[in-house]
């Protein structure tokens, strides 16, 4: 019998009514002939409340104890979820991460899964139970409770799907799939039928946050087909899979725009081995998350080094850079917080020329100035003035026909 894993996030199980609705989806899948494993997160704002409780007692709580505390949120959801299924007349049993032997390393609050001993799950599935597993948590080899950090429940779901050889891992969210563009900014955006792991990874890292990168990497590694779908209807969502031949005909699968950005530029940085390392070392020590890095040579001795950070990290980045000035020589520090980044992502770029040019031309026609450009194998990003961001995003989406389903678009030459 094929196994289906369903994951419900915190908003999908926030109250009794929502838990009942999610339970209905699990039962429906069972009635379709699947063996069903549900992975659930903590209800609504439970985790935030527990964090507040902890901070009131200890502003800097030991991580092991935080994991002990926070893991109760998911444990509550799964027992309530099992009760809901039983109330609807079906057999269900809930499990903590430890009970289904999700073994992690001992990096509390951001543990990594090392193995899953799914025997108990298989046994209960074979006995006809719908199994409900607490997301986000596991235990280390000494029996300490660990949590998986951000996106942890998605990771649990995909990892269980891999361990059980599930046919599909359904991720229920408050959107009904992955769109070509952000529908709030580009009303013509259309839902994708499918997208590759690599593409969604680029989109995820650019902030189109349907799923956390880590769970997608897990899916890619273990070849788990993931469906992102809505928890409030039964419409088919978007499938995340390995690249398939028909994807090659698609130049750009999606586009994103990010506005909460700042760019720091070290003008006239002395061009010596180790200077860039020193800069990013202090940024790392200051816990600043750096996005893009762009360096260009001015002459044999000097370069301009630019990098972007989230706006909330700007002050920390600035202080770190000023601190390093004694060790690293540069002429001036230039900061822009009125910029945005527009990106286009698609595996088709690999085999087609001219994609970058299409983007630059679209921006030029719209009279949008490009401040900086970075690319990866399947992504092109342009920094533009913040005031131009929405217009730039729209013309780029139009240029790549993101208002049309993939098979309706003009074929690339």
Name the token pair of 103. 């073994």
Nearer CB in complex with a second copy: 11/144? 144
Per DSSP, 99 falls in state T
354: left (phi over 0), alpha (psi -120 to 50) or beta: left
63: left (phi over 0), alpha (psi -120 to 50) or beta: alpha
- Does residue number 80 form part of the binding site for a second copy (CB under 8 A)? yes
CB 269 within 8 A of CB 305: yes
Beta partners for 40? 8, 134
Per DSSP, 191 falls in state B
Site size for a second copy (CB under 8 A)? 39
- Does residue number 103 form part of the binding site for a second copy (CB under 8 A)? no
At 258, give phi and psi (nearest 5°).
Answer: -125, 130
Minimum CB distance to a second copy, residue 84 (Å): 5
- Does residue number 6 form part of the binding site for a second copy (CB under 8 A)? no
Contact track, a second copy, 14-33, x by CB under 8 A? --x--xx-------------
* Binding region for a second copy (CB under 8 A) out of 61-69, 147-155, 252-260, 384-392: 61-69
- Does residue number 82 form part of the binding site for a second copy (CB under 8 A)? yes
- Does residue number 109 form part of the binding site for a second copy (CB under 8 A)? no
* Binding region for a second copy (CB under 8 A) out of 75-83, 176-184, 199-207, 243-251: 75-83
Q: Which residue in 177, 159, 254, 166 sits closest to 215, CA to CA?
A: 159
Q: Which residue in 132, 47, 146, 141 sits closest to 92, CA to CA?
A: 132
Q: Which H or E element spans position 340?
A: strand 332-345
Residue from the set 12, 35, 47, 79 that interacts with a second copy by CB under 8 A: 79
Dihedral sign, Cα of residue 134, residue 137, residue 140, residue 146:
negative
* Binding region for a second copy (CB under 8 A) out of 3-11, 90-98, 168-176, 217-225: 90-98
- Does residue number 51 form part of the binding site for a second copy (CB under 8 A)? no
- Does residue number 83 form part of the binding site for a second copy (CB under 8 A)? yes
CA separation for the pair 255, 342 (Å, rounded): 7
CB 383 within 8 A of CB 295: no
* Binding region for a second copy (CB under 8 A) out of 12-20, 169-177, 248-256, 375-383: 12-20
Rg, Å, the chain Cα set: 24
Minimum CB distance to a second copy, residue 378 (Å): 43
Local structure of 359: helix, strand or coil:
helix
- Does residue number 89 form part of the binding site for a second copy (CB under 8 A)? no
- Does residue number 235 form part of the binding site for a second copy (CB under 8 A)? no
- Does residue number 50 form part of the binding site for a second copy (CB under 8 A)? yes
Local structure of 31: helix, strand or coil:
helix
Residue from the set 21, 61, 259, 302 that interacts with a second copy by CB under 8 A: 61
Strand 113-116 vs strand 102-104: parallel, antiparallel, or unpaired? antiparallel
Residue from the set 53, 119, 127, 319 that interacts with a second copy by CB under 8 A: 53
Nearer CB in complex with a second copy: 65/106? 65
Residue from the set 3, 22, 37, 84 that interacts with a second copy by CB under 8 A: 84
Helices (H), 88-208: 119-126, 152-164, 197-205
Write out the binding residues for a second copy, residues 114-153 only, by CB under 8 A.
120, 143-145
- Does residue number 56 form part of the binding site for a second copy (CB under 8 A)? yes
Local structure of 394: helix, strand or coil:
helix
Nearer CB in complex with a second copy: 100/305? 100
Binding site for a second copy (CB under 8 A): 16, 19-20, 50, 53-54, 56-59, 61-62, 64-66, 68-69, 71-72, 75-76, 78-80, 82-84, 86-87, 92-94, 96, 98-99, 120, 143-145
């Amino acid at each position: 019998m094929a196994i289906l894993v369903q994951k419900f996030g915190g908003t999908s199980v926030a109250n009794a009514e929502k838990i009942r609705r999610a339970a209905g989806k699990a039962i429906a899948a069972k009635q379709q002939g699947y063996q069903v494993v549900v992975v659930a997160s903590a209800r609504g704002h439970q985790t935030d409340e527990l964090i507040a409780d902890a901070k009131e007692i200890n502003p800097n709580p030991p991580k092991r104890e935080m994991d002990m505390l926070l893991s109760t949120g998911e444990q509550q959801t799964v027992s309530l979820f099992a009760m809901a299924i039983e109330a609807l007349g079906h057999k269900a049993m809930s499990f903590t991460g430890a009970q289904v032997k999700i073994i992690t390393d001992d990096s509390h609050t951001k543990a990594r899964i090392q193995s899953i001993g799914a025997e108990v799950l298989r046994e209960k599935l074979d006995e006809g139970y719908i199994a409900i597993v607490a997301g986000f948590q596991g235990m280390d080899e000494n029996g300490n409770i660990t949590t998986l950090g951000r996106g942890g429940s998605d990771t649990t779901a995909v990892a269980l799907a891999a361990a059980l050889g599930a046919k599909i891992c359904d991720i229920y969210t408050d959107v009904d799939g992955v769109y070509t563009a952000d529908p709030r900014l580009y009303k013509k955006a259309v839902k994708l039928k499918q997208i590759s792991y690599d593409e969604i990874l680029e989109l995820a890292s650019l902030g189109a946050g349907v799923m956390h990168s880590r769970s997608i990497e897990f899916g890619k590694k273990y070849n788990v087909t993931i469906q992102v779908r809505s928890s409030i209807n039964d419409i088919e969502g978007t499938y995340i899979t390995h690249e398939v031949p028909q994807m090659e005909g698609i130049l750009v699968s999606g586009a994103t725009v990010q506005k909460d950005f700042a760019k720091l530029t070290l003008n006239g940085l002395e061009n010596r081995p180790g200077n860039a390392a020193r800069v990013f070392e202090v940024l790392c020590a200051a816990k600043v998350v750096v996005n893009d890095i762009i360096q260009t040579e001015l002459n044999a001795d000097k370069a301009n080094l630019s990098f972007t950070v989230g706006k909330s990290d700007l002050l920390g980045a600035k202080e770190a850079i000023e601190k390093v000035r004694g060790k690293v020589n540069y002429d001036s520090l230039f900061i822009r917080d009125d910029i945005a980044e527009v990106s286009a992502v698609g595996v088709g770029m690999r085999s087609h020329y001219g994609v970058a040019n299409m983007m630059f031309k679209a921006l030029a026609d719209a009279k949008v100035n490009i401040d900086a450009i970075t690319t990866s194998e399947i992504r092109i990003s342009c920094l533009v003035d913040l005031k131009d961001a929405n217009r730039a995003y729209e013309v780029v989406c139009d240029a790549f026909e993101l208002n049309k389903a993939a098979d309706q678009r003009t074929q690339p030459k």
